[in-house]
Structure 1
Amino acid sequence: MPSNTPQYPETLQHMLDVFTRLFSDKGIKTPNQLALEAVILISDTFGGLQTYIPKSEGVRRHLRDIEIYRKAGKQKARDLALEYGLTEAQIYSIIKRGYNNSRQAGLP
């Protein structure tokens, strides 16, 4: 029996399901429509490319490091270490990496 739901390539269908669940859990009134728009945007942006998406642990760590680098001028390394559960040496290493990355990108 044919389904009324259009079938997409497996990865796109999985992304649609994930976004629909996320938006539904967040209380979005039209989760299916928003999920479809998100998948289309991703397809428009990355379609045809073989793109590596890192595991969430690496992404979270990278975003944490960006946050630490941005706070570095306003908070002491010791306070940042306590806030993030890291050592001061780790904080200084993150700040150094952030500084080097921003210089390479030509950012202030």
Structure 2
Amino acid sequence: MRRDVFQAIADPTRREIINLLASQSLNLNAIAANFEMSRPAISQHIKILIECNLVEIKKDGRERYCEVNFEKLSEVSEWVNQYKTFWTNKLDALENYLSENKTKVEPKTIKR
């Protein structure tokens, strides 16, 4: 099955795996030690991250280390930024509208 980056990061466990790997390469046992689930379950999450090219396996002798492919995360960043730009523009327009019309609105007085 073809998976994309958004499917991969939809799962909180996979997001946490990416967080762990962001600072250093880790082998599967080191990754699994951070979770309360079986090693095969972690392997399945890693497999999905590899299918999406978010994680790459590097061999060092007999050890296999997982590394994050930060370039692939740029897809997420680009997608989020388009909405960030959209909402920033909308909120700026609202702020301008409110500041222009602030003097036009008379505050109501409360009768006692």
Scaled by the length of structure 2, the TM-score of the pair is 0.30
Which of 1 and 2 has greater Rg?
2
TM-score (norm 1): 0.30
- Whose strand fraction is larger, Structure 1's or Structure 2's? 2
The one of the two structures with greater contact order (alpha-carbon pairs below 8 A, sep at least 6) is 2
